Amino acid sequence: MAERLVVIGGNPAGMAAATNARRGRPDLEIVAVERGSHTSYSSCGLPYLVGGAVGSVDDLVVRTPQEFRDHHRIDVRLRHEVVGIDLDARRIEVRALDQARTLHLGFDLLHLATGARPNRPDLPGVDEPWVHGVQTIDDTTRLLRAVEEQRCRRVVVVGSGYIGLELAEAFVDRGVEVTLLEAGPQPLAAIDPDLGAQVAAVLRGYGVGLRLGVQVQGFEDHQVLTSEGPVPADLVVLGTGVRPASELALDAGLAAGANGAIAVDHRQRTSASGIYAAGDCADTYHLVSRRRVHIALGTVANKTARVAGTNLGGGYATFPGVLGTALTRVCQFEIARTGLNQAQAREAGLEFVVGTAQATSRAGYFPGAVDVTARVIAERGTGRVLGGQLLGGDRVGKRIDTLATAITAGFTASQVIDLDLGYAPAVSTLWDPVQVAAQEAANLVARGSAR
């Protein structure tokens, strides 16, 4: 009898692993079970479904179950929720949601791609029907229906991470009055506070009612109760981060890693033989802090799934790790970061200098040039680049990739200055903003070592 690989989770972290495993092992029986109604969609696109830039749910679906069946011989079962994993018997227990029946499915190999779920803060009223989380297509469909049916005029977004910001923009684009409540002193804690202040100005300029330092205390009668008094809301969306959906795995006895995620090694193997995990449910390795971390991003999910799938298919692949590179465009403004920010570097016990450059996106004399802020954080003494941040319009965000690549290479700030990067006045400056920031950092490193 053919060996069977069971994949839990029809998202890209599951399906990319399944297709990679298929490539290596044509003989394998592959079954994928998914609780929701769709396979393999771009969850990063969900906010744009709310804002209207993306017209339909179908646009976000990369591949349908039928395509997986036809092209990869993968048996996809939608609306099937896994309720238990038995490591000894090597089988899972599954509830077929539409038939309201439970079945068992044996496996030889198992891949976990159970993803993440939105944090729901433990507050009175958080389970009210007008308080939404957005993680899946099904969540988003529910949210959109609510927006349309209730002729929603006032929305409160709680939390100013990437999803919170993107949703706030999306509602402004729909013509809805948006209040964005953030408990901390700045939006987007992933970047340094002074750069967060720039983002705050951009949000307010776009029409987002940003309120900082506000503690949410509960939800009642279409009001968000806060430390600063009640805020009326036809609808609330929680953008308060996600946590790994790892309960199933941990309950079965698999080891836990960073932030309660499933612990995996460099081949995406969990603590049990023949069982792999990838994507938002698993932890990973940070190349700069050299610690296990949990980073729930689509890029990491796809990369780790590819590695898991290759190994599941009998091949050999390792995942080197992540930098926490993240990029978002909010209100026509791009925010990008990689490596460690100042708080993270401090937390990792690293001493550093900070080089910051005010530059332009194109040659200063060229029409369309806009202001850009670039930052390079470099280790004191060695000059090794630890992190970078980039803010501005005019498509500069992707230039964070230069720093991500340089950090991966272990380059110093001085080495970044010497990089032979592309230049044309119509699209860039002669010295890229990241090089100007690297020059600042290199000067500070040199000054430090001269003391």
Catalytic residues: 44
- Residue where the block lists tokens 């044996």: 106
Q: Which of 45, 74, 253, 305 binds a copy of itself (CB under 8 A)?
A: 45
| Residue 22 interacting with a copy of itself (CB under 8 A) | no
The answer to whether residues 7 and 33 touch, using CB atoms and an 8 Å cutoff, is: yes
- Region of 293 (left: φ > 0; alpha: ψ -120 to 50; beta: rest) is beta
**87 forms part of the interface with a copy of itself (CB under 8 A):** no
The only residue of 97, 123, 144, 421 in contact with a copy of itself, by rule CB under 8 A: 421
User: Looking up tokens 């272990």, which residue turns up?
Assistant: 410
Q: Give the x/- contact pattern for a copy of itself in 178-217, rule: CB under 8 A.
A: ----------------------------------------
- The H or E element containing residue 320 is none
In sequence order, what are the residues at sequence separation of 6 or more whose Cβ sits closer than 8 angstroms to the Cβ of residue 32? 6, 7, 8, 9, 10, 14, 15, 18, 39, 68, 74, 75, 76, 77
CB 248 within 8 A of CB 85: yes
Give the nearest distance from C-beta 428 to a copy of itself in angstroms. Answer: 6
Which of 142, 122, 133, 293 is CA-nearest to residue 216? 122
54 binds a copy of itself (CB under 8 A): yes
Comparison of 124 and 364: residue with beta carbon closer to a copy of itself = 364
Q: How far is the CB of 26 from a copy of itself (least distance, A)?
A: 17
**Alpha helices (runs of H) in 62-105, residue ranges in sequence order:** 65-72
CB of 130 to a copy of itself, least distance (A): 27
Footprint on residues 376-415 left by a copy of itself (CB under 8 A): 394-395, 397-402, 404-406, 408-409, 411, 415
- Does position 267 interact with a copy of itself (CB under 8 A)? The reply is no
Interaction mask 329-358, a copy of itself, x per CB under 8 A: x----x-x-x--------------------
* Residue 366 is a binding residue for a copy of itself (CB under 8 A): yes
Part in contact with a copy of itself (CB under 8 A); list of ranges 125-133, 198-206, 214-222, 293-301 = 293-301
The window from 122-130, 249-257, 268-276, 323-331 that contacts a copy of itself (CB under 8 A) reads: 323-331
d(CA 55, CA 262): 35
CA–CA dist 412, 377 (Å, integer): 10
Three-class HEC string of 282-309: ECEEECCCCCEECCCCHHHHHHHHHHHH
In sequence order, what are the residues at sequence separation of 6 or more whose Cβ sits closer than 8 angstroms to the Cβ of residue 429? 359, 360, 361, 362, 363, 364, 423
Applying CB under 8 A, which residues contact a copy of itself? 42, 44-45, 48, 53-54, 59-60, 287, 297-300, 302-303, 319-329, 334, 336, 338, 363, 365-367, 394-395, 397-402, 404-406, 408-409, 411, 415, 417-428, 430-432
